[in-house]
Amino acid sequence: MAESRALHNDAGESGPGGGSGVPQSPGDAPESAGTPEPGAPGVTPRIRTPRPRGTRATRAGEPREPREPRILPHLTLHNIPTLRNPVLLMAFEGWNDAGEAASTAAQVVKSQLDGTRFASIDSEEFFVFTDRRPHVRLTRRGRRRIEWPTNEFFACIDPSDDPDARDLVVLLGTEPDLRWRQFSEMVLEVARRTGVQLVIALGAYFEDIPHTMPPRVNNYAANPELHPLLQGLTFHTARYEGPTGIITLLTSRFAEAGYPVATFWGRAPHYISANPNPVVAARILREVARVLHLTLDLDLLDEAATRFSEQVQDAVSKDPEALAYVKELERQYDDDDDDDGAETRNPPGELPSGAAVVEALEAFLRKRQRRPGSGPPIP
């Protein structure tokens, strides 16, 4: 029954105004006019449908003809899914993905919810292949196969018949090198056509934190009052200024278009460059599952995280300077808790060089990446 409503042929345009209804810096998004205050007496909160800019009414009250995006030739739609209360979940390998924690978390969601690919963005126009080279693989028959950077959309259908069920659109991709504005327009086009009501973005970044403490996840939001899953939650205030990545660009574009957006950023120890980092990935996943009310089996990921932590600790324990460095990071970590999130931190004192930690871990990383069966695979 769920399968029959999952996909239908691309027979025309649909989107936020159609049958589906409706950061790390999200920025100051404009408030929606006429949106009722949550909890107001006698008022049922409604999810506002973001309207594509090309279909706003004219002065005479006549709707404009939808503008066909110039970049659609690079967007392949195999089938447009029919989804209930859809949520877009996206993560990208690259600059926004320390330890591949964010992309691993999204991959677990796609795998466990049996995602079906329904759209993709052609890599030819958006990557510099001398910088991000395609990979050659050997098939089981010994033939060579070229694997290009991908950006693909998967429909994850909730099998229940609950009318309040929420299906997912999972965007798994690689941060493009070129034409980010065109790229972001195609992502928005898929969201319009599938009737997305909420956007969730995942990212991860390196920070001076110890591997011996539970990783933290920072969350940010724009237009949270427009979706019931975000109402009542506490979000951080983004104060970052500087170079940014595709996650921040996309969340800003979605916020400007009137979508409710939430971003979850995992914080990974800067001296651990092993990929993937299942410890941070598991922490991101638990936070997202809590917000979206997802039921996921994380036993395999937790097992990988335990093995990963043990191997890192074993590598660090063999170098006294590395141990001293980690101890100092632990002290700062505790001080941050005592500061209760203060905006300004005192500059750290003289620390042992992090080079010793990196050198102590390099052998461990090479051994871990090459030795088969070093731990359970990430699903």
Copy the structure tokens of residue 65.
């003809």
User: Which pLDDT value is given to residue 340?
Assistant: 38
Within 10 A of 254 (CB to CB), how many other CB atoms are there? 27
Q: Is omega for the bond preceding 30 within 30 degrees of 0, making it cis?
A: no
User: Which pLDDT value is given to residue 132?
Assistant: 87
DSSP 3-state percent helix, strand, coil across the chain (nearest 5): 35, 20, 50
Level-2 CATH architecture, domain 2-26+64-297: 3-Layer(aba) Sandwich (3.40)
**What backbone torsions phi and psi does residue 332 show, to the nearest 5 degrees?**
-65, -35
CA distances in angstroms from 53 to 159, 191, 250, 265, 303, listed in the order given: 33, 13, 16, 29, 47
Q: Are strands 198-207 and 261-269 parallel, antiparallel or unpaired?
A: parallel
DSSP state of 57: B
DSSP 37-88: PTT-TT-------PPPGGG-B-TTSPBPPPP--TTGGGEEES-EE--SS-EE
Radius of gyration, CA atoms only, the chain? 22
User: Which pLDDT value is given to residue 3?
Assistant: 41
Within 10 A of 181 (CB to CB), how many other CB atoms are there? 9
Measured CA to CA, the distance from residue 213 to residue 37 in angstroms comes to 39
Within 10 A of 145 (CB to CB), how many other CB atoms are there? 9
> Which of 90, 111, 91, 103 minimizes the C-alpha distance to 297?
111
User: Which pLDDT value is given to residue 54?
Assistant: 44
Q: Tell me the average confidence (pLDDT) per consecutive run of 10 residues in the chain, 379 residues long.
A: 42 40 40 42 48 44 43 82 95 94 97 96 92 90 91 95 92 96 95 96 94 93 96 90 94 97 95 89 96 94 93 88 88 64 34 46 49 35
Q: Are strands 168-174 and 87-93 parallel, antiparallel or unpaired?
A: parallel
pLDDT tens by residue, 334-375? 766 544 333 333 333 333 444 444 554 554 445 444 433 333
**What backbone torsions phi and psi does residue 327 show, to the nearest 5 degrees?**
-60, -40
